[in-house]
Structure 1
Amino acid sequence: MKDPQTLVDERGELWLALATLWRENEPRESDYARMIEVIERHDLSLEQLEWIFRLELAPVLARQQMSVTDSWRDVDEHRLLRQLVTHNRRLHGWRKGFWTLFSGLTTMLTRARWNTLMTRLMVARGQQPPH
């Protein structure tokens, strides 16, 4: 199990960039460009990104998205990183199976944005996006 600082060092920038997908407002062109820039620095495959989206991010950010009291304008990045680190340090055994099983539900509200991002990423990589 990775220590919290290692998780933040390895994933923090990526997690915060991709958290944009869960905001109330549709991401802007500049948001998509920033996410792609960060993704490319991490040199991850589309499959690896899908699992990060489904297992590392969605369980935490879907709760944030559904919360009536929290506003994305007031998101404390340090608090969000702590929540993501806590979740990811516990993501093994039955919890991993649970979140894999329910990832369709936790990604449902963000799936269209994710698909847009993945299409743009494929174009940026010179790959043919699916039609």
Structure 2
Amino acid sequence: MDAQTLVDTRGDLWLALAPLWLEREPRETDYTRMIEEIERHGLSDSELEWVFRLELAPVLTRQQMSVAGEWREFDDYRLMKRLVAHNLRLTGWRRRTWALFSGLTTMMARHRFNELMERLMIARGRDVPS
């Protein structure tokens, strides 16, 4: 897959989910946009989990832990360049390595992802486990 295809197929979804890693809590409008993009892409719960763990977390966790940078908003262009570069290399041993360490890379955003999953279940008319 080439860079333009990645941007065309995943770009809007990646940018919608990026607020899970901001220093502020996502707004209601952020969660609404996330759910709209997830539904537009027709992702199952497990597919969404892997997008979160493999496609986004390795890039966004590194950016989140960097000393420099503004963490209220993202520079969408720079973020997209990093996400595309990461995902173009995400094959073979790299994919397996990120899968292995994905518990660590998702740790700081997991509570927000869980909140998103609850909202998604409600939007899909499914019962939320207690």
Fold match by TM threshold 0.5: yes
- Letter aligned with residue 76 of structure 1: D
- Letter aligned with residue 52 of structure 1: V
> Is the aligned partner of 1:124 residue 2:123?
yes
**Deviation at residue 27 of structure 1 after TM alignment:** 0.8
**1:26-83 per-position Cα deviation (integer Å, ceiling 9, x unaligned):** 1111211111111111111000000000000000000111111011346321111110
Structure 2 length-normalised TM: 0.96
> Is the aligned partner of 1:106 residue 2:105?
yes
In the alignment of these two chains, the number of paired residues is 130
For the aligned residue pairs, the C-alpha RMSD in angstroms reads 1.0
Runs of 4+ in structure 1 over 3 Å off = none
- Letter aligned with residue 49 of structure 1: L
> Paired residue for 2:54?
55
> Paired residue for 1:33?
32
> Paired residue for 1:71?
70
2:10 and 2:79 map into 1 onto residues whose CA distance is: 13
**Change in CA separation of 1:120 and 1:74 when aligned onto 2, cut-off 3 Å:** closer
> Paired residue for 1:88?
87
Contact 2:13–2:37 (CA under 8 A) maintained in structure 1? yes
- Letter aligned with residue 129 of structure 2: P
**Change in CA separation of 1:90 and 1:29 when aligned onto 2, cut-off 3 Å:** same
Identical-residue share of aligned pairs (%): 66
Identify unmatched segments of 5+ residues in structure 2: none
1:17 and 1:130 map into 2 onto residues whose CA distance is: 25
2:21 and 2:73 map into 1 onto residues whose CA distance is: 14
**Change in CA separation of 1:41 and 1:74 when aligned onto 2, cut-off 3 Å:** closer
Identify unmatched segments of 5+ residues in structure 1: none
1:74 and 1:39 map into 2 onto residues whose CA distance is: 21
> Paired residue for 1:15?
14
- Letter aligned with residue 16 of structure 2: A
